[in-house]
Structures are given as C-alpha cells and as structure tokens.
Amino acid sequence: MTAFLGPLAEQLDLNEVDGRAQFRPAGEEGRRWLTERGVPAVLRPLLAAISGEGAGALPRDAVDDVHDRLAVAVASPVERANVLLSWLGRLTVPAEALWGEGVLVRQLLARLDRDDIAAAAIGTRTGDAAMGLVNLVMHHGDDGTLADAVSPTLRQLFPPGPTTGEP
C-alpha cells in the first residue's frame, strides 16, 4: 500500500514543489487552506489559530477537544472516517501530510474502529480518501482490512496496463 504514496501525490498534485509552503499557515490565510482541505466548519476557527505544523504538535487535551467537537458535528463514525480520510488525503506531501496536520488527523482516525474506516473507504472511492488511507496505513499498519477496502479505488485510479500475453 505504501508504494502508492508517490503516485497518488503526483496524481492529486500534492507534492511540495514550486514554492508551495510545507505547512498551512495560521490566521486568515490558513482558513482558505482549511476550507480547501474539507475540514469541517466546526473545527476551522480552532485550527485557524495554529499552523499546520502546530496542529501536528497539539497536546492530548487539545486533540481530545478537536475529537469531541468533530464527534458532535458528525455523529456517524463512518461519515467521520470519510471526512477524516478525505482531509488527510488532501494534505501536501511530505511535510504537512506526514509530520504536520497529518499527525492530528491520524490521531483522530485512530479513535475510530477499523471497520468504520474501511466502510468509509468502500463508500467514498475518491483519490483523496485513498491517499488518506495510504497515509494512515503507513503509520498504523494494516491487517488487510483497509487494503481490501481501498483496492477497488486504487484499481480505478491506476488501471493495469495492457498485457503482452506472455507467461
């Protein structure tokens, strides 16, 4: 699964190139980034006050607060997983996705049941969700449940090439 990180980053234009900032800035400029990443509106005021790098270093009580706010706003664990996978899958690679805001999103995903995350991946079938799942698996491993859930999406995004017919 982790071999898909590079190809997905390329396909989704998530690589930190051409002067693209490594981390989301704090303040008004950062609000636009939060909106583009699909961060739920209930979390935007809280997260806009800190940079993406700061989001990755939040203390446990602040992560608990983010979790609680999100759980109230998005009660369904499958829908919450969907939101979180898409958010994680829209973060730029490598800094933001692996060390910045991605740390926060993975902490939130870790509080969900793997079956709910798998159900979200099966139901979503987008590049963003696939990228989020690949990122999650890179950091938390997989027993095959998540790989099975995302494999149809990855086949859709990266169809096999023509075969030569040779054994």
Residue % of the chain over a pLDDT of 90: 90
Domain residue limits at 39: 2-15+26-157
Find the range with the poorest average confidence among 9-23, 27-41, 131-145: 9-23
**Is residue 162, in this structure, part of any structural domain at all?**
no
Furthest CA-CA distance within the chain: 58
User: Into how many domains does the chain fold?
Assistant: 1
* The pLDDT value given to residue 167: 57
**Is residue 163, in this structure, part of any structural domain at all?**
no
**Is residue 164, in this structure, part of any structural domain at all?**
no
Cα(29)–Cα(50) distance, integer angstroms: 11
List, in order, residues 6 or more apart from 122 with CB less than 8 Å away: 149, 152
Angle at 37 between CA 36 and CA 41, to 5 degrees: 85
pLDDT digits (tens, 9 = 90+) for 54-78: 999 999 999 999 999 999 999 999 9
**Is residue 167, in this structure, part of any structural domain at all?**
no
Cα(15)–Cα(10) distance, integer angstroms: 7
